[in-house]
Structure 1
Amino acid sequence: MKNVIITGASRGIGFDLLKLFNNENYNVFALSRNISNISSFKNVNSIVTDLSSPESIGSSVEIINNKIDSVDILINNAGFLINKPFKHTTFSDFESVYKVNVFGLAELVRLIIPKLNSQSHIVNISSIGGISGTSKFPGLSAYSSSKGALNILTEMLSEEFKEINTKINTLALGAVQTEMLNEAFPGYKAPLSSKEMAKFIFDFSLNGHKFFNGKIIPVSISNP
């Protein structure tokens, strides 16, 4: 049985990914701050994880390490978004966003390195707004800049992981109808559903590393 780790697995794209992998009999490690709606799934190891806390990340990885010898797929799906005009976006706001979207993600990847191998694939979920030259949503200075940092981190890690031949790629998504989008932009109608995007990510996580490494791939039919 292959092993997959999914962050932000309790809702939205992460929850739909969990169900897809579970249906294919993967051994799923579902990391989320709230696991109440995912703890009953068979072959799903639900782990309470706060990606803004290095201690929480370390505890979660220790649980994973005690259960498996290798990680086949890691999908860094969790994200935190604040929608505020830049003049009202504080140091604390930036810190909160970057802790989840960059620092916590980086710490999780760093700690999981001993479980990676030449067949492993890391898929980071970013945003089209984090790519230079694309249209931007006003109010997302912290979020979009954090995704830009994630994009560069992906390129850097693809170089560092050459010694273990692990592949890492980023999917930069356009607007998807999720709870996070609804909370940030009430009433906004995205062109794609969470289930549709989850299926694309599922397929890419299984096969994308055969064709791509260190790539930032826009996945969007809208602008932004």
Structure 2
Amino acid sequence: MKNEIVVLITGCSTGIGRELCNILSQKGCMVVATARNVETLKDLPASLKLPLDVTQKESIQKTINRVISKFHKIDILVNNAGYSLRGALEEIDINSSKNMFDVNVFGIINMIQAVVPEMRKKQYGKIINIGSISGKFVQSINGAYCASKFAVEALSDTLRLELHNYNIQSTVIEPGPMKTNFFNTLVDNSSDVMGNPNSCYSHFYKSDDKYRKKQKQADPKLAAQAISDIILKKRLNARYKVAVSFLYKIVIYFPDFLREYFMKKR
């Protein structure tokens, strides 16, 4: 086999993961596309398409074994699988929140534990964690999701400290809102809570719904192109913002009282 770059991507059924598969394949990478339902990948131009549930270690190990058997290495891991649900912390369903953390946070740890030993054997690798601009500042009724993405920031920073001796790099991508199925899934996951007209937080829910309908969202293809360029860099920075509005870039650097004032007014 030629010395192609082998890239394993989680959560490729829609959105950024799907677009990354297309772009990286066009750039000559050996792309391993994965999703819980492998049927959603049938029209992707990937070198290998495998079922993968990042919350199940048995599923992960089967996937890793298949990849190593075929390519003998994993150069880049893109932890892209993730989703969101909304609701005030007082009302949000705890079990639903745990399930989200299982994917958004512990799913990343599961993948790290399975892939890093293979990267260490080669003394080379890159771990790309897809976080969110919501991992930099919080919004009302989005606390659980923001918390999961704050955790992704910490995981990425920790990896750089722990793995630098093995020539394994880590970074976190912090995308802004994009035109994908992300928000449709969010609505489906949160309808029971946010659709309650008797909730004392109903004004937040109505305001959020109105805001999201007029919110500017980036083209996922352009965002994926930017992410693919980052992934293939020789040396990675600690973090990258992708498809983030100028206003949100500024808000990150506001002092706490000013950022909270802005978010309350929003």
Whether 1:138 and 2:161 are equivalent positions in the alignment is no
TM-score (norm 2): 0.75
What residue in structure 2 maps to residue 204 of structure 1? 230
TM-superposition CA deviations, 1:75-106 (whole Å, max 9, x none):
11111211222222132122111100111111
* Alpha-carbon distance in 2 for matches of 1:40, 1:194: 18
Which residues in structure 2 correspond to 1:66-85 (within 5 Å)? 66-85=69-88
Query: How many Å apart are 1:10 and its aligned residue?
Result: 1.3
Whether 1:127 and 2:132 are equivalent positions in the alignment is yes
What residue in structure 2 maps to residue 194 of structure 1? 220
Whether 1:216 and 2:239 are equivalent positions in the alignment is yes
* Alpha-carbon distance in 1 for matches of 2:131, 2:87: 19
Q: Could you tell which deviates more after superposition, 80-89 or 141-150?
A: 80-89
Aligned residues: 218
What residue in structure 1 maps to residue 55 of structure 2? 52
Cα distance 1:49–1:217, how it changes in 2: closer, same or farther (>3 A)?
Answer: same
Query: How many Å apart are 1:55 and its aligned residue?
Result: 2.1
Q: Secondary structure at the match of 1:66?
A: helix
* Alpha-carbon distance in 1 for matches of 2:16, 2:220: 5
Query: How many Å apart are 1:182 and its aligned residue?
Result: 3.4
What residue in structure 1 maps to residue 176 of structure 2? 174
* Alpha-carbon distance in 2 for matches of 1:40, 1:183: 22
Query: How many Å apart are 1:57 and its aligned residue?
Result: 1.6
Flag the structure with larger Rg. Answer: 2
Name structure 2 gaps, 5 residues minimum. 188-211, 252-266
Q: Could you tell which deviates more after superposition, 2-11 or 67-76?
A: 67-76
Query: What RMSD, in angstroms, separates the aligned Cα atoms of the two structures?
Result: 2.0
* Alpha-carbon distance in 1 for matches of 2:43, 2:224: 21
Q: Secondary structure at the match of 1:202?
A: helix
Amino acid at match of 2:157: E
Q: Secondary structure at the match of 1:142?
A: helix
Give yes or no for contact 1:39–1:45 (8 Å, CA) kept in 2. no
Q: Which structure shows the bigger proportion of residues in helix conformation?
A: 2
What residue in structure 1 maps to residue 34 of structure 2? 31
* Alpha-carbon distance in 1 for matches of 2:87, 2:98: 14
